[in-house]
Amino acid sequence: MSGARGATRRIDALDGLRAVAMTMVVAQHCHLLPFGWTGVWLFFLISGYVITLGFLAGAYPGRGFGARYGAFMAARAARIVPAYLLYLGACLAVLLALAHTGPLGDLPYLLSFTFNWQMIFGFWPGHVDWAPLGHLWTLSVEQQFYLLYPLLALGLPRRWQSGAIAALIATGPLLRWGFAQALAAHGVTEPGDLAFAVYAATPCHLDAFLLGALVARLERGQHLDAATGRRIAIAAAAIALAYAATYVAINRALGATGIDMLRNVISGVLAGQQREVFVYLAVDALALAVLVHTLRRGRGSAWLGWAPLAWVGRVSYGGYLFHALVLWGLARSLGLNSAELPVAGRLLFFAAGCSLTVVLASASFVWVEQPLARRWRRGRAPAAPGRGASSTPRVA
């Protein structure tokens, strides 16, 4: 599979993988999957892969760096902003209807895609947590990556880019360590605060996006063969096992016994003993192995291309946006706390939440996202002589 073709056609199995990532996050928020947060990192890798295919295929034309950078950012805005504003509008309507105005102070940060930094540092001291907005910090991280990545993809000669990406990936643990040390030096010592700060800081996760970018370049160079896939899978398993074994041993040395030795390894308050530095090595490595296995159509991955699952993946951006409001609304209307339900009750709550989320996401995709994306493409594409057809690559 060539990178150029991958920029202009859909890969059903990759959409299926998006569906899995979204479902993991929803399951976490239904108190069913404590490590469901790792689905966000799978999204990060997929995002880095997809946008790199676009750069490699020349999907962002223009004369000079500025024009191509602008074309890329316009394409990303056309893909991301409509559904995002629709979701914020829905949240605003609910908040006004309830006369619950406290969370509205976050709107400047939400609209400027700096919400992750607001959540970390509390620039607005009157911040009021509201569950339907809490997950949007990830969109800020993604948009900030989109601002930075073209500096590499468009600003460096192509022959240097893979080496630069590999070098930046290698600095990932160092960036997390340095950020955690800087926070601790400025008085952030509570483990939960420190864990979330590293969790939500954009520089701490550039390596996840860049791993996806590196996969796209390996694929474009036809280096993503079976042997490479096996090596990546073996390395990922070794990294994950080494991380887990190390922190289980540390927990035991700290006095934990039984099931408690597994706490704060992949889920929980991932801070202390440099957990916030190294946990993402394991998460990124496993996400990388899964992405490569999916792209290579490895054994057992065919089900990811199942049409209904692929559709959920196609609408997963809207699904990720809307799921938090759906779950909050369900819990409020039923007068329950999903965390207090028995497992069977949580499963029913999860099934209902997923179903409603997919319905809303599908409506957003069909009636808002796709029409606006088509209109944007028509506006960007130069007409051929005597024809109005567009040859501009579609928004991925």
Residue 391 has pLDDT above 50, yes or no: no
More confident residue, 124 or 345: 345
pLDDT for the residue numbered 2? 35
Closest among 303, 346, 379, 395 to 29, alpha carbons compared: 346
Average pLDDT (239-246) is 97
For 211, the domain range is 3-380
Percentage above 90 pLDDT, the chain: 86
User: Is residue 324 one of the residues assigned to a domain?
Assistant: yes
Average pLDDT (119-138) is 92
User: Is residue 344 one of the residues assigned to a domain?
Assistant: yes
pLDDT for the residue numbered 157? 93
User: Is residue 23 one of the residues assigned to a domain?
Assistant: yes
User: Is residue 391 one of the residues assigned to a domain?
Assistant: no
Whole-number Å distance between alpha carbons of 118 and 125: 9
Average pLDDT (210-238) is 94
The domain total for the chain is 1
Cα–Cα distances in angstroms (integers) from residue 262 to residues 28, 33, 36, 129, 333, in the given order: 17, 14, 16, 29, 35
pLDDT band at 276 (very low <50, low <70, confident <90, very high): very high
Residues belonging to the chain: 396
CB neighbour list of residue 182: distance below 8 Å, 6 or more residues apart: none
More confident residue, 126 or 269: 269
Residue 7 has pLDDT above 50, yes or no: no
pLDDT for the residue numbered 9? 59
User: Is residue 198 one of the residues assigned to a domain?
Assistant: yes
Contact 152, 164 (CB under 8 A): yes
Contact 95, 130 (CB under 8 A): yes
User: Is residue 389 one of the residues assigned to a domain?
Assistant: no
Average pLDDT (184-210) is 95
pLDDT band at 378 (very low <50, low <70, confident <90, very high): confident
Percentage above 70 pLDDT, the chain: 94
Average pLDDT (220-233) is 91
Contact 41, 284 (CB under 8 A): yes
Average pLDDT (69-94) is 96
Interval 174-189: pLDDT, tens: 999 999 999 999 999 8
Residue 159 has pLDDT above 80, yes or no: yes
Whole-number Å distance between alpha carbons of 147 and 4: 23
User: Is residue 20 one of the residues assigned to a domain?
Assistant: yes
Map residue 73 onto helix, strand or coil: helix
Average pLDDT (310-315) is 98
More confident residue, 36 or 377: 36
Residue 390 has pLDDT above 60, yes or no: no
- Phi then psi for residue 337, to 5 deg, are -115, 115
pLDDT for the residue numbered 10? 75
pLDDT band at 382 (very low <50, low <70, confident <90, very high): low
pLDDT band at 278 (very low <50, low <70, confident <90, very high): very high
pLDDT for the residue numbered 221? 87
Query: How many C-beta atoms surround the C-beta of residue 64 within 10 A?
Result: 9
Contact 154, 69 (CB under 8 A): yes
Amino acid making up residue 86 = L
Q: What is the mean pLDDT of the chain?
A: 92
User: Is residue 386 one of the residues assigned to a domain?
Assistant: no
CB neighbour list of residue 204: distance below 8 Å, 6 or more residues apart: 172, 175, 176, 179, 198, 280
Average pLDDT (383-396) is 44
pLDDT for the residue numbered 396? 53
Amino acid making up residue 107 = L
pLDDT for the residue numbered 264? 95
Average pLDDT (114-141) is 94
Closest among 152, 145, 164, 115 to 208, alpha carbons compared: 145
pLDDT band at 199 (very low <50, low <70, confident <90, very high): very high
Contact 333, 98 (CB under 8 A): no
Whole-number Å distance between alpha carbons of 233 and 182: 34
For the ranges 52-61, 125-134, 372-381, the lowest mean pLDDT is seen at: 372-381
